[in-house]
Amino acid sequence: MSLLKSKLIVTLPVIVIAVIFIFSLAMIPSLNPAPRNLPIAIVNEDQGLATPEVNTGGMIVSEIQSETWANPDGEPAVKWIEVGSEAEVKAGLDNQKYYAALVISKGFSEKQASLMTPDPSSPRVQIYINQGMNASASSMAGQMLNQAVHGMNEKLGAELLAAIGQQGGMLSTKQAAALASPIVSETINVNAKGTRNGNGNSPVLMLQPLWMASLIGNVVFLLVKNKQNYMNRKERVRANIIQIIWGTVIALAAGFSFTWFAGSLGVHISHFTDTAIFLAIAYLAFFLMIAAVFAWIGLKGMIIFVLLLFFGAPLLSFGPEFLSPFYRDWILSWLPMRYMVDGLRELLFFGQRLRMNHPTVILIWIGIGGLLVLLASAFRRSRAA
């Protein structure tokens, strides 16, 4: 019965319930993800007909945009973005502006009119799927576009058959084949996710080993530094400088070894050196950030970084449009590891080289901030003093 005299034992049920509640919060985004304003581009290159004056491509664009696409919460599921040309939309896909795009080809109205003649030519559309941006989001966007094209096919086929019937005409073999599916659609995957990239989630999968390696590295440094029990400021500054220099060496080792290991497992690495250096930058940024926190609050800071990984990894596998405003604005936007994932996505799927883009710059600033806070910790009064 002596155990029951401990306040910690008595409050253990409350602690367990609190832990269950906190860790259950990580499940919420995965329970019923629904898109909100998923950006999909639409291009109409159809010039229309002068006689009779008609632009079928423009009519299709208007019908698609007027169609109601809503998620279970009643919010718009799609944000249609009209783009001027196919070249412009391709550039937007490469810049991760759209998850997918529908391109209505030139001469669409002319070819549609030819379906009423003995020598028909089917109008064409292209559906671009931006796989590298986010595999699940781009797949859903592609399904929406295919559904829209299927609906257009059924409507256009019914209208053409009715018009031919009113004219009392007979269908040729070519016409019958063309009217079975009046619009020919072509699906084109761009910035492809590849075959061994975790269904497009390899940047998120590569986060966990690097994050844990930077955390374990700092735990070892903290334990060794605590044993040394530095008594004066000069010794603490020297110890922190050694940690920064050695952390840089470890970062390079981690970046190149991890890139080689991922490649040996089958992950497609377009540019080995660029990817290795970027991973080294990410490791050093995380290493210095964790070191700064440990320098001020000690090993208790580990729970912060374990929770960041636990809550962050599931969120990073979704597109931002699939998260609620709370998770998108207050959790995802504050996750330091998302910049590593975004940078890796560009390197692995978009064929980019290492450059001073937004993810790289933010990681460098995270590292600089961690470095300054780590150095500043040497100037606080030691516990022994």
Q: What angle do CA 273, 93, 68 make, to 5 degrees?
A: 145
Distance between CA 368 and CA 227 in Å, rounded? 27
Mean pLDDT by 10 residues, the chain (385 residues): 70 84 74 84 87 79 79 80 92 94 90 81 91 89 90 83 70 73 89 74 91 94 83 84 94 96 88 95 97 92 90 87 86 91 92 92 96 90 53
Asked if residue 52 has a cis previous peptide bond (ω within 30° of 0), the answer is yes
Check residue 231 and give its pLDDT.
Answer: 67
pLDDT of residue 382: 58
pTM of the model: 0.86
- CB within 8 A of 231, min separation 6: which ones? 382, 384, 385
pLDDT value at position 385?
A: 41
Going from the C-alpha of 130 to that of each of 64, 119, 272, 318, the distances in angstroms are 20, 35, 23, 15
User: What pLDDT sits at residue 195?
Assistant: 66
pLDDT at position 310 is 86
How do residues 237-295 score in pLDDT, each as one tens digit?
A: 898 999 999 999 999 999 999 999 998 988 888 899 999 999 999 999 999 999 999 99
Name 86's Cβ contacts closer than 8 Å, sequence gap at least 6: 43, 45, 103, 126
pLDDT at 167: 64
Dihedral sign (CA 142, 145, 147, 153) = negative
Helix or strand holding residue 131 (H, E): none
Span(s) in the chain for CATH 3.40.1710.10: 38-190
Tokens of 40: 């999909």
Tokens of 123: 């109008």
**Structural element, H or E, at residue 164:** helix 135-167
> What's the 3-state SS for 180-243?
HCCCEEEEEEECCCCCCCHHHCHHHHCHHHHHHHHHHHHHHHHHHHHHHCCCCHHHHHHHHHHH
Long-range contacts (CB closer than 8 Å, 24 or more residues apart) made by 64-70: 64/102, 64/148, 67/148, 69/144
For 115, phi then psi, to 5°, come to -65, -15
CATH topology of domain 38-190: abc type-2 transporter like fold (3.40.1710)
Token code pair at residue 267: 């992950």
Q: At what angle do helices 358-376 and 272-297 cross, to 10 degrees?
A: 30
